[in-house]
Structure 1
Amino acid sequence: MNKEKRTEIFKRFQQANPEPKTELEYSTPFELLAAVLLSAQATDKGVNIATRKLFAIANTPASIAALGVAGVEGYIKTIGLFRSKAKHLVQTAEILRDQHNGEVPADREALESLPGVGRKTANVVLNTAFGQPTMAVDTHIFRISNRTGIAPGKDVLEVEKRLLKLVPQEFMLNAHHWLILHGRYVCKARKPECTRCSIVDLCEFKKKTT
């Protein structure tokens, strides 16, 4: 895919949704970190249902740590893998409380050192909470990047690096949100809805649906 076509794709995304937001509900960097940590193999809707109850009781590192693993489990048991997620969230809260003055660090290395926080989670927090132009490649972005030809790659890290290199800088801050939303609601995994796609004429996917 050439630069002109890629630029036009993101122009259209921007025109349709000038200020895209994550669908996870949060009000602080820690709430976002907690929600993203809980979101693996779960829907944003399911996470939001759980965190509304959890955050009403505990929404800081100190209060989550005080709640403890069993306490957190009681609020998130509707989410898949809730036991391991509760353990990681409490461990993360304790580290933030004890080593970072209760604040979420705006630093990749520090974030990735937290229990249950991998590269994708760190990228989401850096981008969404701190406005850094990172690219959190989930299954939607991996699929879209390969299917459309925007930034094909054999694994998530390769796709991330190619997107960071190829997405025009003026669109980088919001690109990750646009791609996720496009993959979630239009360019779906099983059957992309090409008939209502805003970039269908630019996409290089050969087996378009009609």
Structure 2
Amino acid sequence: MSCDSDPAPTAEPAPPTWAVSFRWTADSGIDLDDREGVHVRAAIESNTIADFLEMENAYPGWADYPGAIDIDARETKPAQSAVGTAYLHLIDYRRPNGLNTLVVCKDMTQVAVEQSGSFPLPSLSDDHNTFEAVAVDIIPGPIPRTRQKPTEPPAGPNLNGPAGRTARPARDVFDLPVQVYYPHGGGQYRSLCESWDRWKPGTPLSRSETEPPPIEPFTPGWN
């Protein structure tokens, strides 16, 4: 007598992984580890992670301030595994009205989304995934926080960086409200990044799509 065997259980798909390091530099006189530098880095890195994964994978405290969240990070979309190195440079800029803002030059040309073993190049016409300038204001005054649920670090390899530093903060580093101004195709502040000039917009990308872009050590990282 024979009987039908139970069907083999379906394996759960592996969760999307995060293997992107953040490498920061700054103009002379800017300290990436001071209060403003920490807030800017945490906001921009959180938005970048949420662009590829989920808001819950970003840093503790980031989603408590609605102004710190870009609309692309809020968008509901399938999470994607990402690999490579994001290069960022911080500039202090005095606006024509006399107020200061901080501008982040953001080069994502060496970050790729893994698609069935390949690593497609970003479209050169897509500023958000190649090169853009993001303005960030730190608001010097208490604003009520909207408490969100706890964050969950994404799956992925341990990333290399300076001794005693980690790739993401384990605690909430936000004690002031942050407001981000992503350009969404606009060119405001972009000219400020010309002196940094890591990648000239429109320049063809030379890496192969058969291998992932390299993951360079993060800097400065988090205490």
TM-score interval (norm. to shorter): under 0.3
Q: Which structure is larger by alpha-carbon Rg, 1 or 2?
A: 2
Bigger strand share: 2
Looking at both structures, which has the greater relative contact order when contacts are Cα pairs under 8 Å and sequence separation is at least 6? 2
Bigger helix share: 1
- TM, length-normalised to structure 1: 0.23
- TM, length-normalised to structure 2: 0.22
